[in-house]
Structure 1
Amino acid sequence: MPSSSSVRSSRPSGTTVAIAAGVLVAALLLGFASYTATRPQTPSTTGSAAEVSAEPGSGTYPELVKLARRDAGDPLAMGRADAPVVMVEYADFKCGYCGKFARDTEPALVKKYVDAGVLRIEWRNFPIFGAESESAARAAWAAGQQGRFWQFHAAAYAEGAKEKGFTGDRLEALARQAGVTDLARFGRDVDSAAAKKAVKRDQDEAYGLGATSTPSFLINGRPIAGAQSERTFTEAVDAAAKAAR
């Protein structure tokens, strides 16, 4: 059976991230969740790592709640900065399951929760599939500098987009499709030190949490690995909203 996330078995050399004791516990859970989300299902395997308790606060870690940046000016986020629930999403534009989540599940969450002011979604670039992943991450960040991150996100995750690759010309085409108006600035921003720094910050954060696959999520401090069912996410958001109340 296909897995619900894409996996890279090793992290870049030299990546060192300090992890607080409480976060280390959560990292172990997220690592286990990544494993169970990607191993083949058998009749005796229930996928317990993807199951979500309806109990408010169950499976959450206060240290992970703090990773929600809640920056009202963040172009890689959508939803109210003071929304009761924040979903942090670590993803790669070359990840097929990230695309599946973006097309099949995320729009329903936006309509049901973001538009209602309940949920905020904060994107973190987590490129793990090589040079094109890195380039696409920087391009998405660059589109965000002109207020077109989510439009770029939609274009890059459209059906069949991944198969066309993320080379320089292709990235510019996606930027045009996303409505980026200043393409000269876009090109400069893609190769800028600021873009590389922003992507590395997100990437280091994900590795520091023990994430080993994409997509990986935190919903008010609750780790979820893989493009799980819509029900898994709605249950997690509902429980988090209840706890916040």
Structure 2
Amino acid sequence: MSSSKSPKSPASPTTKKPAAQKLAAQRAAAKKAAEKKAKAARSRRVAAAGAVVALIVAVVAVGIAVAKGSGGGSHKPSASSSADPQQALYDQVERTTSRRAKDDPMAVGKPDAPVVLVEYADYQCSFCGKFTRESQPELIKKYVDEGVLRIEFRNFPIFGEPSVRAARASWAAGQQGRFWQFHDELYAKTRKGDALAEDKLVDMARTAGVRDLDRFRSDLNGSAAADAVKKDQEEGYKIGVSSTPSFLVGGRPVAGAQPMKEFEAAIAQAKAAAEAAKAGK
């Protein structure tokens, strides 16, 4: 008895069609996602650019006001004025905003470092966290440890009560010498809303090595913490800070969590201006 195998028939168009449609849908979805991501990146760049312009305008206005208030008409231009016509104003703003206090728990670096970076930030701000995790360690290693840079942190809560509570908590941690450890713990990941409830902040303080947690809780809720945060906020508003993170590098505004090369360029400019001013004395 003989048997024969029928030839294998090719897949019909109807069996191929669903797979092709699925592949096309996947490609369309991937394209849409890429376009959405690119649009978001453009929006962030535009927002950062707008913030830079606003900061520059405000810095210039504050510099002029400070100069007038201190006898600006007889102010001697810095030696680097010829390199940047705004340098004298940046110098004025640097002197106004950089505290350089030796015992400031919210600062790192030598008080007499030639360049001071002042950061205005909110603890619910994801880009502030990005700067803390990625750029700040590099800046400390490359510039702070070498005595070139000092970093001074300012609480600038703009996202509501959880941000204000976290800002007060960071100040409270600083009263026990653990500001930077607590700061880094807060920014270890993006935390919002209930993640910044008082009990959660106490837990983070414990992790950060704050020893007296009862004092921490009391300081967090005290008037001194509220006054300190308000002082930082008012300083930021005065120079035109409207978004976070915002920075002053030697009085020169830098808005947003910029690439490392932007901070390097700003530090180099501020360092050169400080050296020129010193040489011109």
Query: Shorter-chain TM-score: what band?
Result: 0.7 to 0.9
Residue 144 in 1 paired to residue 183 in 2? Answer: no
Distance 2:265 2:60 in 1: 28
SS of corresponding position for 1:176: helix
What is the match of residue 136 of structure 2?
106
Are 1:63 and 2:102 an aligned pair? no
d(CA) in 2 for partners of 1:68, 1:24: 14
Choose which of 23, 40, 51 in structure 1 pairs with 2:62: 23
Query: Are residues 160 and 199 of structure 1, via their aligned partners in 2, closer, same or farther at CA, if it must alter by over 3 Å?
Result: closer
Structure that is richer in helix per residue: 2
Partner in structure 2 of residue 40 of structure 1 = none
**In the alignment, structure 1 residue 223 sits paired with structure 2 residue 253:** yes
Task: Assess, with a 3 A threshold, how the Cα gap between structure 1 residues 106 and 20 changes in structure 2: closer, same or farther.
Answer: closer
1:109 deviates by: 0.3
Highest CA radius of gyration, 1 or 2? 2
Matches of 1:83 and 1:5 in 2, distance apart?
33
Match of 2:115 in 1: 85
Runs of 4+ in structure 1 off by over 6 angstroms are: 4-7
* Matched residue, 1:185: 215
1: CA distance between counterparts of 2:132 and 2:45? 13
Aligned to 1:48: none
After superposition, the Cα gap between the structure-2 partners of 1:227 and 1:21, relative to the gap in structure 1 and judged at 3 Å, is closer
Q: Indicate conservation of the 8 Å contact 2:59/2:93, yes or no.
A: no
Q: Give percent identity, aligned residues only.
A: 51
- Quick one: which of 206, 209, 215 aligns to 2:239? 209
- Decide whether aligned partners of structure 1 residues 84 and 141 sit closer, same or farther in structure 2, where only a CA change above 3 A counts: same
Helix, strand or coil at the partner of 1:213: coil
Q: TM-score, normalised by structure 1?
A: 0.78
TM-score where L is the length of structure 2: 0.68
- 1:39 — aligned with what? none
Q: Is the 8 A contact 1:6 1:97 kept in 2?
A: no
Structure 1 residues 206 and 149, CA, compared in 2 at 3 Å: closer, same or farther? same
Match of 1:165 among 195, 208, 215: 195
Query: Unaligned stretches of 5+ in structure 1?
Result: 8-18, 27-54
| 8 Å CA contact retained: 1:5, 1:215 | no
Question: Which residue matches 2:10?
Answer: none
Query: Measured at CA, do residues 100 and 110 of structure 1 come closer, stay the same or move farther in structure 2, by a change above 3 Å?
Result: same
Residues 101/56 of structure 1: CA separation in 2 closer, same or farther (3 Å cut): farther
Note the C-alpha offset of 1:239. Answer: 1.5
SS of the residue corresponding to residue 214 of structure 1 reads coil
Report the Cα offset of residue 24 of structure 1.
Answer: 6.6
Q: Distance in 1 between matches of 2:140 and 2:85?
A: 23
Report if the CA contact (8 A) 1:76-1:144 is conserved. yes
* C-alpha RMSD over aligned residues: 2.4
